[in-house]
């Protein structure tokens, strides 16, 4: 791994290799690398890129949409970073590579940078790596960062907590247009777009948009931002500009003070996320926990030990470890 000084110079001059290496550094769980990552991040100049989270129902065409939007933005002179958050990588230990291959045009655009989801042991770890990767991209001069959620579960909430605007993509459905959309998603979405509104599906898409707008009125209080519901076709590159205009409207609605408050709150949440992630890493490294892990596992699986007692035993083993300082964690 290059030294921090070399990475900083490479990031400031926009060298893609340095940006990739810096993101690999901030993704690492190695205590030594994490110390270097902290130094790197504190020395990067603060930036205010437009941060947008993008999620959607299965089969909505997220990759096609992101490529269409990203290509439009780079054509307008923006520099666009795309990051993925995938909770499934927590279980599989892998990273998402498919989206980079599906966005072939954007992947070769010199004004765009696409990074697959990090592999991490916890969802908190994935979030930590993604937030810090965003900071690296902003330090390299990317003025728009799109954070894509891959998979289902807590990912939408996680991403909504790290971006300025959360965009939800859905489809026009026959029958119940709200099928498959959780109420929680409607509560965190700032902009909703009904994708694949092309050909003979345009009328159906407009009907779905009306239904969603009605549903949003039920979950949003008076005086709150009313998320606009628009239609688009990423495949035909129709309506994508309108979606982006609504994203900027939401940003304008927040205003400078509102955006500052939102980001400050996110930083506070991120602080505690970092604490929880670090505690999880220390628990994994604990000699005392390692010594009893197999025994506790077998006792729980066989039914000899209740989970509550097992948890107390693991924590007692951790508490009995020597105090872990900076030197001990290396």
Tell me, what DSSP letter sits at residue 170?
Answer: E
CATH number reported for the structural domain that contains residue 2 in this entry: 1.20.5.170
How much is the average pLDDT of 180-185? 64
Same domain, 178 and 32: no
Same domain, 90 and 195: yes
- Distance in angstroms (rounded) separating the CA atoms of residues 250 and 254: 6
Q: Is 293 among the domain residues?
A: no
How much is the average pLDDT of 259-270? 92
Tell me, what DSSP letter sits at residue 238?
Answer: B
Same domain, 40 and 68: no
Same domain, 91 and 238: yes
Output the six-digit token pair for 327: 């030197």
Q: 230, 235, 77: which is closest to 144 by C-alpha?
A: 77
CATH number reported for the structural domain that contains residue 237 in this entry: 3.40.50.300
pLDDT at 104: 84
Q: Looking at the 3D structure of the chain, how many domains does it have?
A: 2
- Distance in angstroms (rounded) separating the CA atoms of residues 270 and 126: 12
Output the six-digit token pair for 27: 């993704």
Same domain, 15 and 81: no
3-state SS, residue 81: strand
pLDDT at 329: 45
Q: Please, what is the average pLDDT of the chain?
A: 84
Output the six-digit token pair for 62: 């997220």
Q: Is 25 among the domain residues?
A: yes
Helix segments in the chain, DSSP class H: 4-12, 16-27, 31-43, 62-75, 88-92, 98-102, 104-107, 123-139, 155-160, 183-188, 202-219, 240-285, 287-301, 307-319
Same domain, 20 and 70: no
> How confident is residue 298, by pLDDT bands cut at 50, 70 and 90?
very high
How much is the average pLDDT of 303-313? 95
pLDDT at 48: 81
Same domain, 21 and 67: no
Q: How many Cβ atoms are within 10 Å of 15's Cβ, its own excluded? A: 16
> Is the model's pLDDT at 91 over the cut of 90?
no
Same domain, 197 and 88: yes
3-state SS, residue 187: helix
Q: Which of 203, 238, 254 is the last residue of a domain?
A: 254
What pTM does this model have?
A: 0.85
> Is the model's pLDDT at 125 over the cut of 80?
no
How much is the average pLDDT of 10-36? 90
How much is the average pLDDT of 11-39? 90
Same domain, 128 and 208: yes
- In Å, what is the CA distance from 202 to each residue of 2, 26, 34, 122? 52, 44, 50, 41
pLDDT at 179: 52
If residue 112 lies in a helix (H) or strand (E), which one and from where to where? strand 112-115
Q: 138, 81, 49, 21: which is closest to 10 by C-alpha?
A: 21
> How confident is residue 117, by pLDDT bands cut at 50, 70 and 90?
low
Helix segments in 85-182, DSSP class H: 88-92, 98-102, 104-107, 123-139, 155-160
Q: Is 27 among the domain residues?
A: yes
How much is the average pLDDT of 169-195? 73
Q: Which of 254, 276, 296 is the last residue of a domain?
A: 254
If residue 82 lies in a helix (H) or strand (E), which one and from where to where? strand 80-85
How much is the average pLDDT of 119-145? 82
Domain of residue 38, residue span? 1-44
How much is the average pLDDT of 85-114? 69
Query: Using one digit for the tens of pLDDT, what is the confidence trace for 66-89?
Result: 999 999 999 999 999 999 876 555
Same domain, 198 and 151: yes
pLDDT at 94: 46
> Is the model's pLDDT at 288 over the cut of 90?
yes
Q: Which region among 34-38, 86-90, 156-160, 210-214 has the lowest average model confidence (pLDDT)?
A: 86-90
How much is the average pLDDT of 97-122? 75
10 contacts: CB under 8 Å, gap ≥ 6: 2, 17, 18, 19, 21, 22
Phi, psi of 50 (to 5 degrees): -80, 115
pLDDT at 93: 47
Q: Which of 206, 229, 254 is the last residue of a domain?
A: 254
176 against 187, higher pLDDT: 187
pLDDT at 164: 96
42 against 203, higher pLDDT: 42
Query: Using one digit for the tens of pLDDT, what is the confidence trace for 223-263?
Result: 788 889 999 999 898 999 999 999 999 999 999 999 999 99
Q: Is 273 among the domain residues?
A: no
> Is the model's pLDDT at 95 over the cut of 50?
no
Same domain, 128 and 236: yes
Q: Give the CB-side neighbour count of residue 193, counting CA atoms within 13 A.
A: 29
Share of the chain above pLDDT 70, in %: 84
Q: 262, 201, 258, 211: which is closest to 232 by C-alpha?
A: 201
pLDDT at 261: 95
Pairing of the two strands 191-195 and 144-149 = unpaired
306 against 219, higher pLDDT: 306
> How confident is residue 185, by pLDDT bands cut at 50, 70 and 90?
confident
């Amino acid at each position: 791994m290059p030294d921090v000084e070399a990475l900083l110079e490479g990031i400031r001059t926009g060298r893609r290799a340095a940006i990739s290496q810096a993101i690999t550094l901030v993704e690492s769980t190695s205590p030594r690398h994490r110390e270097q990552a902290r130094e790197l991040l504190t020395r990067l100049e603060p930036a205010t890129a437009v941060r947008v989270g993008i999620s959607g129902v299965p089969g909505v065409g997220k990759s096609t949409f992101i490529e269409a939007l990203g290509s439009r933005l780079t054509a307008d002179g923006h520099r666009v970073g795309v990051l993925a958050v995938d909770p499934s990588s927590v279980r599989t230990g892998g990273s998402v590579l498919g989206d980079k291959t599906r966005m072939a045009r954007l992947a070769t655009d010199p004004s765009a940078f696409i990074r697959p989801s990090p592999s991490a042991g916890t969802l908190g770890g994935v979030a930590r790596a993604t937030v810090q990767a965003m900071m690296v991209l902003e330090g390299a001069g990317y003025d728009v960062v799109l954070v894509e959620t891959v998979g289902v579960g807590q990912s939408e909430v996680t991403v909504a907590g790290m971006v300025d605007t959360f965009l939800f993509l859905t489809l026009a459905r026959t029958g119940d247009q709200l099928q498959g959309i959780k109420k929680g998603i409607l509560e965190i979405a700032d902009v909703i777009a009904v994708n694949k509104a092309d050909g003979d599906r345009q009328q159906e898409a407009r009907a779905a948009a009306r239904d969603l707008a009605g549903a949003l009125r039920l979950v949003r209080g008076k005086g709150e931002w009313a998320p606009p519901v628009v239609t688009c076709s990423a495949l035909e590159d129709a309506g994508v500009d309108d979606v982006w205009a609504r994203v900027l409207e939401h940003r304008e609605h927040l205003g400078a003070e509102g955006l500052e408050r939102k980001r400050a709150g996110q930083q506070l949440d991120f602080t505690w996320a970092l604490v929880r992630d670090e505690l999880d890493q220390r628990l994994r490294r604990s000699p005392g926990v390692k010594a009893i892990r197999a025994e506790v596992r077998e006792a729980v699986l066989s039914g000899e030990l209740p989970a509550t007692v097992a948890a107390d035993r693991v924590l007692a083993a951790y508490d009995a470890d020597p105090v872990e300082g900076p030197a001990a964690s290396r």
